[in-house]
Amino acid sequence: MARIDLDLAHSYRPDPQQDSDYALLPLKMSFVDGGAYALLGPSGCGKTTMLNIISGLVQPSHGTVKFDDRDVTRASPQERNIAQVFQFPVIYDTMTVGENLAFPLKNRGVAPARIKERVGRIAEMLEMSGQLDMRASGLAADAKQKISLGRGLVREDVSAVLFDEPLTVIDPHLKWQLRRKLKQIHHELKLTLIYVTHDQVEALTFADQVVVMTRGRAVQVGSASDLFERPRHTFVGHFIGSPGMNFLPAQWDGRQLSVAGHAMPGVPPLASLSSLASAPAGGDLKLGVRPEYVELATEGDEGALPATVTRVQDVGTYLLLTARLGEVLLKARLAPGTPVPGEGGTVWLALVGPHTCFYKNEELVA
């Protein structure tokens, strides 16, 4: 296994001129030895490009890739000693499940006794012990993809195992099980795993560190809790969470905060607000608050803002309130059974508290 350092940019065009010509904008990033990472972002943001640059299938147009301080920028996937699992099964139909799992080890001349032991262990982890002697051709697509996962994980000496949306062909229930299984396997095998997905649940279940990407930029690398509590970019606030973070226009003049045009003289001097005074020039900001942290208040409470209820949905485990404040539709996740006015009624909302974030030019400032 290896520590992986990227210091690069990539354009598929020969002569990139502007940001939009790059699939990956200049970035510096490290993947520590033995870590479980997810590359998360919408379609086209550059996840697969980053994965293929790590594996050596794509060479970056600018900069370097290092494995344990060794420059591997021009090295092939074989030279980098990478295992890769793709969206669709890559297995040999004519072989049995066991032979398929053993193949990467046989190829590297591993001793038969060791192969047997390792294949047995991987099959057990993936709950395929009973299928080892079955021919792969007769299996369903998701069983075949489990073999692909096993083949990716079977070698102990790889620098890293890379997964590109590996659960796409798996049915939803098994997907749920495999996500947890992969996390458990990571703890047991201690391999460096890098996993591409556009599904936040998949990323947050599997990875210790999630790299959130948008338009060729890695905007934040963090744990599930970092991404939830302190999104460093408005994109992360919006993309992570269900529903995502609420954003409202805010102004800060160094002494007083106003939110969506409402002055908030009574808002107590929270730590985040005092640090805001030192933010570059204050001025036009965005206030970000997660639906989980929007609280119901009563008229006259300090900092309470009036909003018009547009929808109340009982989602079972919580009540989802949608209310209009100026131009903005706000979402609040409330405890089941919370009394709220019906559509068209007025609710008073407290938006500023210890979990509130402030953004300037989309970047977190306080």
Ligand X SMILES: Nc1ncnc2c1ncn2[C@@H]1O[C@H](COP(=O)(O)OP(=O)(O)OP(=O)(O)O)[C@@H](O)[C@H]1O
Nearest to 162 by CA among 206, 192, 126, 186: 192
Q: Given candidates 17, 18, 43, 225, which one binds ligand X under the rule CB under 6 A?
A: 43
Q: Does 44 bind ligand X (CB under 6 A)?
A: yes
Q: Does 47 bind ligand X (CB under 6 A)?
A: yes
Q: What distance in Å separates the CA atoms of residue 320 and residue 47, rounded to the nearest whole number?
A: 32
User: Smallest distance from the beta carbon of 169 to ligand X, in angstroms?
Assistant: 15
User: Smallest distance from the beta carbon of 250 to ligand X, in angstroms?
Assistant: 32
Toward ligand X, which CB reaches closer, 45 or 257? 45
State the CB neighbour count (10 A cutoff) for residue 366: 21
Q: Given candidates 8, 48, 55, 247, which one binds ligand X under the rule CB under 6 A?
A: 48
Q: Given candidates 181, 198, 262, 355, which one binds ligand X under the rule CB under 6 A?
A: 198
Using CA atoms, how far residue 249 sits from 40, 107, 235, 327, 362, in Å, is 27, 60, 16, 10, 12
Beta bridge partners of 325: 328
Per the rule left: phi > 0, alpha: psi between -120 and 50, beta: everything else, 194 is: beta
Q: Given candidates 6, 40, 45, 125, which one binds ligand X under the rule CB under 6 A?
A: 45
Q: How many residues bind ligand X (CB under 6 A)?
A: 11
Q: What is the DSSP letter of 19?
A: G
Toward ligand X, which CB reaches closer, 128 or 236? 236
Toward ligand X, which CB reaches closer, 19 or 284? 19
Whether the bond into 243 is cis, omega within 30 of 0 = yes
- Lay out the site mask for ligand X across 18-37 (x = CB under 6 A, - = otherwise): -----x--------------
Token pair of 257 as six digits = 């905060």
Q: Does 217 bind ligand X (CB under 6 A)?
A: no
Taking contact as CB under 6 A, which single stretch among the options 41-49, 103-111, 122-130, 353-361 is the one that binds ligand X? Answer: 41-49
DSSP 265-299: TT----HHHHHHTTSTT-EEEEEEE-GGG-EEE-T
Toward ligand X, which CB reaches closer, 59 or 308? 59
User: Smallest distance from the beta carbon of 240 to ligand X, in angstroms?
Assistant: 16
Q: Given candidates 1, 2, 37, 49, which one binds ligand X under the rule CB under 6 A?
A: 49
Q: Given candidates 35, 46, 60, 237, which one binds ligand X under the rule CB under 6 A?
A: 46
Ranges of H-type helices in the chain: 47-55, 77-80, 97-107, 112-125, 141-153, 172-189, 200-206, 224-229, 234-239, 271-276
Taking contact as CB under 6 A, which single stretch among the options 39-47, 109-117, 178-186, 227-235 is the one that binds ligand X? Answer: 39-47
Toward ligand X, which CB reaches closer, 41 or 303? 41
Token pair of 267 as six digits = 């808002």
Enumerate helices (H) and strands (E) in the chain, giving the number of each: 10, 21
Q: Does 80 bind ligand X (CB under 6 A)?
A: no
Q: What does the binding site for ligand X look like in residue numbers (CB under 6 A)?
A: 12, 23, 41, 43-49, 198
